[in-house]
Amino acid sequence: MNFIKLGFIGSYKVDLLHYFSCILRAMNKKVLVIDASMEQFLKVTLPLEDEMTRVTSKGIDFMVEQQEIEALDQLDYSGYDIALIDYGFNKRVAYDFSSCHLLFVITDFQKHHVILLKEMIQSFFTNQVNVVKIFRDVFTTKIKAGYIDRLLNIPVGVDVLAEYVFPLIEEDLECRLLCQYEDVFKFNKLSKAYKNLFVDIIQELYGLKQSDIMKALKRAEGGKICK
């Protein structure tokens, strides 16, 4: 199996990076997660000591403070099956988007997040990018996902493979918080909609049976790979 790279841009990605990496690790994949964002929100969820930029946690390798253009150009991915890269809103590393097998475009409906994401999309997207759109924390309001989608205005020619709309659910927020504060965390309370996302993406990447993916998901969500 060839090396795979997944990119994540926008807001509210940290928990998804943790969930995906745990499931992939439960599938015996060698996983690298990179925080190339300016915000460095992933970094604060990791058991890092002062001045550390690398750590292995839950059998997963993490790299932080990779915000510069040169950093991603010089990385050696040999030995890894898959890398997950958090680009955040960092325009300096947007050149790397086209090297991703899938690019996840993630936002809630807060306007400052939507506008920042729109700027990233309009400035750097090409038809070489395969996109998965994710709208999070959606609740009943006059602002709808279709309106946000029109604001983002993903260019014609970009291959949008899928779109997911996740409602605001307390159990999902609880899982999001736990993975920020606990080195060993469970996400078995996560809503079925998110678990369907994981299954869909892993099937797209590896062509596995749903039953095999669910076995790995069960191990990961129960925190077993963390021990």
Residues 115-139: tens digit of each pLDDT: 999 999 988 888 788 999 999 999 8
Query: Is 95 within a domain?
Result: yes
| Whole-prediction pTM | 0.94
Query: Is 11 within a domain?
Result: yes
Query: Is 146 within a domain?
Result: yes
- Total Cβ atoms within 10 A of residue 164: 18
Query: Is 226 within a domain?
Result: no
* Cβ atoms of 184 and 226 closer than 8 Å: yes
Query: Is 196 within a domain?
Result: yes
Q: What mean pLDDT, rounded, does the chain reach?
A: 92
Q: pLDDT of 180-217, one tens digit each?
A: 998 889 999 999 999 999 999 999 999 999 999 999 99
**Number of separate domains in the chain:** 1
Tell me what pLDDT residue 66 has.
82
**Mean pLDDT calculated for residue range 11-23:** 97
- Provide the percentage of residues in the chain whose pLDDT is more than 90: 78
Please give the backbone phi and psi of residue 161, each rounded to the nearest 5 degrees, phi first: -80, -30
Which CA distances in Å does 65 have to 44, 53, 178? Answer: 11, 6, 23
Q: What is the DSSP letter of 48?
A: P
CATH code of 16's domain? 3.40.50.300
Query: Is 186 within a domain?
Result: yes
Q: Residue 1: which pLDDT band, with cuts at 50, 70 and 90? A: low
Residue 110 clears pLDDT 80, i.e. is over it: yes
Residue 60 burial (CB < 10 Å; 0-12/13-18/19+)? buried
* Cβ atoms of 198 and 3 closer than 8 Å: no
Tell me what pLDDT residue 224 has.
75
- Which residue has tokens 């990791």? 46
Q: Residue 17: which pLDDT band, with cuts at 50, 70 and 90? A: very high
Q: pLDDT of 53-70, one tens digit each?
A: 899 998 999 999 887 767
Query: Is 172 within a domain?
Result: yes
Query: Whole domain around residue 11: which residue ranges?
Result: 4-221
Q: Residue 73: which pLDDT band, with cuts at 50, 70 and 90? A: confident
Query: Is 227 within a domain?
Result: no
